[in-house]
Structure 1
Amino acid sequence: MLTLLHTSPVHVPVFDALRDREHPGLEMRHVVHEELLALARSGGPGAADAATAAVLAEVVGEGGATAVLCTCSSIGAAAEAYAARLGVPVLRVDRPMAAAAVAAAPERDTVRIAVVATVDSTFGPTCDLIREEAERAGRPADIRTVLAEGAWKHFEDGDQDGYLDVVARVVDTIIGVDVVVLAQSSMADAAARVVRSHIAVPVLSSPAPGLRAAAAAVPLIPVSPGP
């Protein structure tokens, strides 16, 4: 069974809809731990690592997960790093997006990528991930970070439309890059609201490619032959 580790309940219907549309029949369980993001935001890099490891151990040990997808960019690196100790695949939702961002950039010496986020704690892990994927592809990366000022307040207030509108407006101001990355799963639907009439570049989000990779990582359970 695939278990999704979230730091906000708003992600649950997003991934349920993706499962129904792209992976019908995939057995999926949601676990929400909002305190992990709070730790990452208040304590800086590494502050949530121990708590994330404890949650993962419980998800696999007591919850019976055979694969885990971490949907929070701020704790994704810690979750991924703990996989070897758990003995099951643990994926971060944004790795496929990061690889796609590097691949989508035109063939030139340097990949120019803008990372848009609504909380500062996301920038470090996301930029490190993109650099890792760029190095793997043999391409240097020029990464620009762009904070969607004021968007997070809308998110905390439950105003998803306001949240997405702020993100989309910020994306529309970005120029001089090859790819725009929406760093948090909660931002995914902002891509459809982007006008970008002045420049046509890909605007990438993580939920769909992340769930695709996780679904592929779920071990197949052999079917016993009938009598």
Structure 2
Amino acid sequence: MLALLHTSPVHVPVFDALRDEEAPGLAMHHLVRPELLDRARAQGPDAVVDDLSAELAAAARHGARAALCTCSTIGSVAETAGAALGLPVLRVDRPMAAAAVATGPRIAVLAALESTLVPTKALITQEAGRAGRGITVRTVLVPGAWERFEAGDSDGYLAAVASAAQEIRDANVIVLAQASMAPAAEGLDVGVPVLAGPRTGLRAAAQLVARDASFSGLRTT
């Protein structure tokens, strides 16, 4: 089973649909904890470590073989908490970051939340180090986007993201830092790749579950 840790309920149907396309039959358990993002924004991501650890430990006790954190703001601390528990945890934007680094050296990051910019830039820099590539990262906070998201104005939110992407110049690739931004990339033609995390993140997390299941099978035979 794959546990998914969300900070908004809007992600539940999105990842259910992606599971049906990418990994049919994968058992998933959704954990929706919006208060974790609220606290991380107010006090910093480290403020949610204890609660994250408790959530992940409970998921492991209930059969989770891996977890996927769909919130970019707390993704790094989720991975660290999982490592301490012995549970593989993947932040949803890590495969996207690796793909961005492989695409080109000039990377633009769009985010609706300021608290997402620093961890996303750090993640991309980390992936560049692993790949041995030199990069430059430009971060852009999309004005007014998060307010629209919180108000339930999905169309307005995605339109703001798409508009901001169209204003980007001199980039080899554009990264949409938050999972909720992914639909804005559909049909968007800005002359460079526009990357979003949900699909590649779920695909990689499903592989983690499969690898763990295979390893467990080897140990018991």
Distance 1:168 1:56 in 2: 34
In the superposition, the TM-score normalised over structure 1's length comes to 0.90
- Alignment-derived partner of residue 97 in structure 2: 98
- Alignment-derived partner of residue 36 in structure 1: 36
Distance 1:201 1:12 in 2: 29
Distance 2:74 2:17 in 1: 23
Total equivalences in the alignment: 213
Give 1:52-71 correspondences, 5 Å limit.
Answer: 52-61=52-61, 63-71=62-70
- Which secondary structure state, in structure 1, belongs to the residue aligned with residue 132 of structure 2? coil
Establish whether residue 154 from structure 1 lines up as the match of residue 152 from structure 2: no
- Alignment-derived partner of residue 73 in structure 1: 72
Once the two structures are superposed, residues 4-37 of structure 1 have per-residue CA deviations (whole angstroms, 9 ceiling, x without a partner) of 0000000001101101112111111111000110
Give 1:20-35 correspondences, 5 Å limit.
Answer: 20-35=20-35
Distance 1:216 1:89 in 2: 11
Match of 2:194 among 194, 198, 203: 203
Distance 2:171 2:4 in 1: 32
CA contact (8 A) 1:3 1:59 kept: yes
Backbone CA RMSD of aligned residues: 1.3
- Alignment-derived partner of residue 108 in structure 1: none
Distance 1:48 1:39 in 2: 7
- Alignment-derived partner of residue 171 in structure 2: 177
CA contact (8 A) 1:112 1:178 kept: yes
Distance 1:52 1:22 in 2: 27
CA contact (8 A) 1:171 1:180 kept: yes
Match of 2:184 among 176, 180, 190: 190
Match of 1:220 among 202, 213, 216: 213
Establish whether residue 13 from structure 1 lines up as the match of residue 13 from structure 2: yes
CA contact (8 A) 1:168 1:193 kept: no
CA contact (8 A) 2:45 2:77 kept: no
Once the two structures are superposed, residues 93-112 of structure 1 have per-residue CA deviations (whole angstroms, 9 ceiling, x without a partner) of 1100000000111xxxxx11
CA contact (8 A) 1:53 1:78 kept: no
In the superposition, the TM-score normalised over structure 2's length comes to 0.92
CA contact (8 A) 2:96 2:201 kept: yes
Distance 1:56 1:216 in 2: 18
Unaligned runs of 5+ in 2: none
- The percent of aligned pairs where both chains have the same amino acid is 58
Q: Runs of at least 4 residues of structure 1 off by over 6 A?
A: none
